[in-house]
Amino acid sequence: MAPERLQEFNTIVKDSSKVDVLFGYCYPSTYRAGMTGLVLHILYGILNSRADTSCERYFRYDTKSPALSVESQRPLRENHVLGFSLTYEEDIINLVQMLDFGGVPVLAEERTENDPLVVVGGPVVTANPEPFVDFVDSFVIGEGDLVINELVDAVATGPSRREVLARFSEISGFYVPAIPKTSVKRNIILDLDSLDYPLSQIVPDVAEGSQFDPVFGKSFLLEVTRGCGHSCRFCLIGHVCQPRRTRSLSKLKELVQNGIGNTPVSKVSMIGSSLGDLDGLEELVCWTGNQGLGVSVPSLRADSVTEPLLNCLVKSGQRTLTIAPETGSTDLRRHIGKGLSDTDIESAVEMAARCGYNSLKLYFIIGLPGETDDDITATVDMIVKLAKTSGMKVTASVNPFIPKAQTRWEREPQPSIGEIRRRLKIVERGVKKDSRVTVESLDPRSARIQAALSIGDRSLGKVIRAAARYGGYGGWRRAEKETGISFLDLASDTERLQEDLPWSYLRN
């Protein structure tokens, strides 16, 4: 049960009668998940630094109501703009439900001058906005912090909804479905050092482990890199966030010093893909630890792990090494473009054990194009071997392959739910005897839904709308029957995947 009022540090409440633009930042999932995302803190900081704008937050779950802001209980529909971040495809259901609960017409074509503009960004729509066009007035393709001020300027000075949307469509990276374009360019910022950075980040005043505690715990989020220098064939980030960019070491240290002065926490969570590729990560981690701060880093590439880095991370409180071999098969790993050898992986794990780590989190994918049962057996062998040689507790997160738009495997089909389950069983049976190993997996039905939403076209709007009425997996099934659209088969429809792709107007 959510508390009446969530206590937080660094929230900003303005007198809404004294600003021109009311912006509702909406995260279509839990408070905890939304607060873990850096984009919330970035946009909140930029928007509230403007004298003419008040930004307040809305979450689908866990706060008093999805239709009332956390800050001042401002009704959702009173905002001029509702900005949603869509990080996971299935959250579109939550987005539609939030609009509905808030009294905002769910369909873009039914909104009038008195309704907020619904703007959606995030990696999901940057890859393929088409399944979501029915519900959205404008998409932001690429990095939203680059254009957020232009968005607000257009809203503050636009005489009408139609005029504001016309202005949006002229801004780089904006895609207004009502004003089609032949191509839309993805926004990226090349120089991260030049971006404004949120130093006063919102922190919930809650006990560790509470439902409101962010995923990395109460910490200062430090974005070290954007994008990734690798481009594994299946990986969305490796394709739609390219090129890889990093902040300079001096800038990162400055951000830590100033951020800790403004955000009441004693831990720094470093954010970025393939962080270990950063020259100076070791220096940054050790320097941060020497300031008396805890440090956490996300998944590291096994070939970038060094003993001094791990020693500093252990001293700073990290005890779990997270790496993503993706598959135990060397050939398949090469085929997906991962470029890690067995030796890289084994050496990283041995180093972690020597340095005092006590657990290991390993990410694998099953159902990859070209995968055989022998490849799955190789994954089992790798998990068992790493658990045995390291003596650590191992959590193997084994998730179904999901074809994503704009990746090199965007046209590859996903195996059926039954086949994914069969392959998953091979892994579960193979590791069952080792009590140190736990296997966790995304429900293959969710993977099916995610795949359809990743590669689908605008005909899916009808399915989404019906599924949002019913909720849950059963809701998708009912929606499929009601609309007559074979939504759940989409990801394995190989013929369809040979046709022109719905997102072909997006160019990088």
Query: Which residue's CB comes closest to ligand SF4?
Result: 238
Task: Report 169-188 residues binding ligand SF4 (CB under 6 A).
Answer: none
CA–CA separation, 473 and 424 (whole Å): 20
CA atoms of 473 and 65, how far apart (whole Å)? 23
Q: Residues 278-317: x/- map of binding to ligand SF4 (CB under 6 A)?
A: -----------------------x----------------
Kindly list the distances between the CA atom of residue 183 and the CA atoms of 117, 173, 180, 248, 376, in Å, as whole numbers in the listed order: 22, 10, 9, 33, 41
Is there a contact between 326 and 333 (Cβ–Cβ < 8 Å)? yes
CB of 38 to ligand SF4, least distance (A): 16
User: Would strands 174-175 and 138-140 be described as parallel, antiparallel, or unpaired?
Assistant: antiparallel
**Stretch in the footprint of ligand SF4 (CB under 6 A) among 232-240, 394-402, 425-433, 486-494:** 232-240
Task: Report in angstroms how near the CB of residue 318 gets to ligand SF4 at its nearest.
Answer: 19
Query: Could you tell me the smallest distance in angstroms from the CB atom of residue 163 to ligand SF4?
Result: 40
Structure tokens at 471: 């909720």
- CB atoms inside a 10 Å sphere around CB 194: 9
Stretch that binds ligand SF4, among 235-243, 385-393, 405-413, 454-462 (CB under 6 A): 235-243
Q: Which of 28, 66, 238, 272 binds ligand SF4 (CB under 6 A)?
A: 238
Q: How far is CA 31 from CA 59, 260, 264, 268, 466, in A?
A: 6, 22, 19, 20, 25
Residue 231 in the binding site for ligand SF4 (CB under 6 A): yes
- When asked if residue 235 is in the footprint of ligand SF4 (CB under 6 A), the reply is yes
Residue 366 and residue 401 in contact, taking contact as beta carbons nearer than 8 Å: yes
What is the nearest approach in angstroms of ligand SF4 to the Cβ of residue 232?
A: 3
Enumerate the β-bridge partners of residue 294: 267
For residue 10, the tally of other CB atoms under 10 A from its CB is 16
Q: For the stretch 98-117, what's the b/e string if a residue is b when 16 or more beta carbons lie within 10 angstroms of its beta carbon?
A: bbbebebbbebeebeeebbb
Could you tell me how many residues make up the chain?
Answer: 508
CB of 340 to ligand SF4, least distance (A): 9
Q: Which range, of 6-14, 81-89, 126-134, 224-232, touches ligand SF4 by CB under 6 A?
A: 224-232
Regarding 232 and contact with ligand SF4 (CB under 6 A), the answer is: yes
Report the C-alpha gap between 117 and 175 in whole angstroms: 13
Task: Give the residue among 123, 112, 98 at the shortest CA–CA distance from 25.
Answer: 98
Distance CA 440, CA 442 (A): 7
In the sheet that holds 220-223, the strands lie side by side as 220-223, 267-271, 294-296
Q: Which residues partner with 245 through β-bridges? A: 226
Q: Which is nearer to ligand SF4, 232 or 452 (CB)?
A: 232
The pair of structure tokens assigned to 110 is: 């039914």
Piece of 169-177, 226-234, 256-264, 418-426 that binds ligand SF4 (CB under 6 A): 226-234
Binding residue for ligand SF4, selected from 19, 98, 237, 310, defined by CB under 6 A = 237
CB of 237 to ligand SF4, least distance (A): 5
CA gap 287, 281 in Å, rounded: 10
Q: Which stretch binds ligand SF4 (CB under 6 A): 83-91, 103-111, 185-193, 228-236?
A: 228-236
Query: Which amino acid belongs to residue 38?
Result: L
Do β-strands 117-121 and 203-204 pair in parallel, antiparallel, or remain unpaired?
A: unpaired
The residue range among 69-77, 230-238, 458-466, 473-481 that interacts with ligand SF4, by the rule CB under 6 A, is 230-238
Binding positions for ligand SF4, 52-91, rule CB under 6 A: none
Q: Does 274 interact with ligand SF4 (rule: CB under 6 A)?
A: yes
Nearest distance from residue 336's CB to ligand SF4, in Å? 8
Tell me how far, at minimum, the Cβ of 227 lies from ligand SF4, in Å. 8
- Contact between 97 and ligand SF4 by CB under 6 A: the answer reads no
Residue 333 as a binder of ligand SF4 (CB under 6 A): the answer is: no
Using CB under 6 A as the binding rule, whether residue 230 contacts ligand SF4 is answered as yes
Please pick, from the candidates 273, 406, 414, 492, the single residue that binds ligand SF4 as defined by CB under 6 A: 273
- Using CB under 6 A as the binding rule, whether residue 226 contacts ligand SF4 is answered as no
Total of residues contacting ligand SF4 (CB under 6 A) = 10
Question: Shortest Cβ distance from residue 323 to ligand SF4 (Å)?
Answer: 10
Which listed range, 85-93, 190-198, 231-239, 453-461, lies at the site for ligand SF4 (CB under 6 A)?
A: 231-239
Round to whole Å and give the CA distance between 452 and 456.
Answer: 5
Angle, vertex CA 304, rays to CA 378 and CA 126, nearest 5: 85
- DSSP annotation of 218 reads S
| Residue whose CB is less far from ligand SF4, 133 or 270 | 270
452 counts as binding ligand SF4 under rule CB under 6 A = no
Interface with ligand SF4 (CB under 6 A): 228, 230-232, 235, 237-238, 273-274, 301
